Amino acid sequence: MSTSPAPAPTPGSPAAPSVALWEELVTTALLGTDRRTPPGPASGREAPAALLGTAAVETVRRRAGLRPARAAARPEPAAEDPRPQLPPAAARRLTMLLADRSGTGSGGRRGAAPDLMELLPQWLSLANARGFAAPPQTLPTLLDAARGRTDLRPAVLTFAGPRALWLARLNPDWRFALRAAPGGGAELPFPQESDRIRQLWQEGLFAERVALLTTLRARNSETARELLATTWATERAEDRLMFLDSLRAGLAAADEPFLEQALSDRSRNVRATAAELLSALPESALAGRMADRAGSCVAVDRTRRAPTLVVEAPHECDAGMERDGVVAKPPAGRGERSWWLGQLVEAAPLGTWQDRLGGRTPEEVVALPVADDWRSELHAAWCRAAVRQRDPGWSRALLGSPSAPEAGGPGAVSLAERAKLLATLGAAERADWVAGFVATHGLSEAFQLLGVCAVPWAAPLGRAVVDALNIARDAGSYPWSFSGVMGLAERCLDPAEAGRLDALTAVPDEPEDASPGAGGYWAEAFQRLTTTLRLRAAMREELGGP
């Protein structure tokens, strides 16, 4: 029961607490009885004790003068979570993982103990895949963990369920959960509730409208697009950009008329996004226009000893090109013509080149020599086009063989480009390519490539990584040079590989040119890796997995 101050005291009332007296006592206590005489007859040595006695009496009087206030309304109960409870062993494991909040990561760590906080994302993924509900007593700790690590938030909120949103409304520290949840934690209308959909779209908060549009897009792309069109002209530029981005999911030819209109938008960012989406539709009018422009810039010269690609980059960026998303002004240090050429080739459908370059396959096109130093520019643009259009055939051609001396194919100008190209391939093919790369070139450049491979790593990739780590160990180098790869291995290596690693946990004989103490560091690193793998296997078993 809460309390509130009583009405102001009536002057002269002996039972009413004296506000003036209390203020006098506080002032005297702050100044000291040597400098100010306290109320009452006591003085001298008796003054301090008399001050405390009077203050004690006044404290009782002030508390007794409070009257009960009306109790606040109780919050509505949290929604029921119908999902099954965790098995007891899995619940204990979750408590243990949440208790380790160090978050130190595995890079540069000493000792054989696994980093439990780094295993939490994988545990959450497994628990969500099995459809378990979070134990109620763990919700505060889960929300605190997600508050400190944004990468945990999607998995934590899925696992925590409706009760986490209920708690987040009561604690400002957890309000991120409401922002991250679809519709800000509000229940979205069903597809058949057209009136509610219309009302939420017209009156809802921005987060609610984004969530509504995303949900509708997943259910019925046409309904979502039509809803967006009803208010498009009155939306703010930054909101139009976010709404337009939601059309990436389920992008289809039926979206072309709406996107063509967006090419004339007053916001440059909106125009650029609309052009990017249209270029991902090979049959769109914009894709055809870009194909004509790019095709006029690249041709095969058959008068040379071997067929050679010749490039004539655009001499200007006209209004039509700008409307179709070509940015006229290049970044610093970049030539205008090469900048325009790259954008045209990137936006042109990749099927264009087979028709315009003599029916050649992607591999044959990529293998053609390119005159006048245009090769890197042309191939880099094809790389971006393959990623944008999710074309595995062109990605394979541009990646080349993983054992090639250049270790990336003719078009992959950086590890980041190679990683993006690999992401367009299937999981098994991706793992095989990276395994071949690691076997040929080692681990020094493989970190980004390993990051795009499916977890757990396929057996050939896992063996290639372990073999490369073993080679580095035998060479006597410090394991810190491979701490990033070792950390990935702890999270991504198949737990079945733990048995193969037991032989590597002993301290090796160090060669004469080895770094001092490197053998001991490697032994600890492999002990931690095997311990982590066995812990991941136990986690999976506790959650009911194979």
Question: Are the beta carbons of 282 and 351 closer than 8 angstroms?
Answer: yes
Task: Kindly report, residue by residue over 254-301, the tens digit of the pLDDT.
Answer: 999 999 999 999 999 999 999 999 999 999 999 999 999 999 999 999
The dihedral formed by the CA atoms of 348, 349, 354 and 360, expressed in degrees to the nearest 10: 90
Which one, of 347, 427, 358, lies nearest residue 387 by Cα?
Answer: 347
Please state, as a whole number, how many other Cβ atoms lie within 10 Å of the Cβ of residue 162. 16
* Residues with pLDDT less than 50, the chain: 1-17, 103-108, 183, 185
pLDDT at 4: 46
What crossing angle do the helices spanning 427-441 and 415-422 adopt, rounded to 10°?
A: 150
pLDDT at 546: 58
Three-state DSSP at 212 gives helix
pLDDT at 12: 42
**Both tokens assigned to 111:** 């000792």
Phi, psi of 398 (to 5 degrees): -75, -30
Which one, of 455, 459, 486, lies nearest residue 470 by Cα?
Answer: 486
**Cα–Cα distance, 154 to 440 (Å, whole number):** 37
Question: Are the beta carbons of 437 and 425 closer than 8 angstroms?
Answer: no
**How high is the mean pLDDT of the chain?**
86
CA distances from 484 to 235, 449, 488, 491 (A): 45, 12, 6, 11
**Cα–Cα distance, 380 to 382 (Å, whole number):** 5
Please state, as a whole number, how many other Cβ atoms lie within 10 Å of the Cβ of residue 452. 18
pTM of the model: 0.75
**Cα–Cα distance, 287 to 354 (Å, whole number):** 15
**Token pair 């991120």 is at which residue?**
176
Residues in Cβ contact with 477 at an 8 Å cutoff, skipping those fewer than 6 apart: 514, 515, 518
**Both tokens assigned to 296:** 């006029």
**Cα–Cα distance, 411 to 384 (Å, whole number):** 10
Question: Are the beta carbons of 457 and 468 closer than 8 angstroms?
Answer: no
pLDDT at 13: 43
pLDDT at 193: 81
Question: Are the beta carbons of 47 and 38 closer than 8 angstroms?
Answer: yes
**Cα–Cα distance, 366 to 343 (Å, whole number):** 18
Question: Are the beta carbons of 124 and 157 closer than 8 angstroms?
Answer: no
Strand partners, 311: 298
**Cα–Cα distance, 71 to 259 (Å, whole number):** 56
Question: Are the beta carbons of 424 and 390 closer than 8 angstroms?
Answer: yes
pLDDT at 458: 95
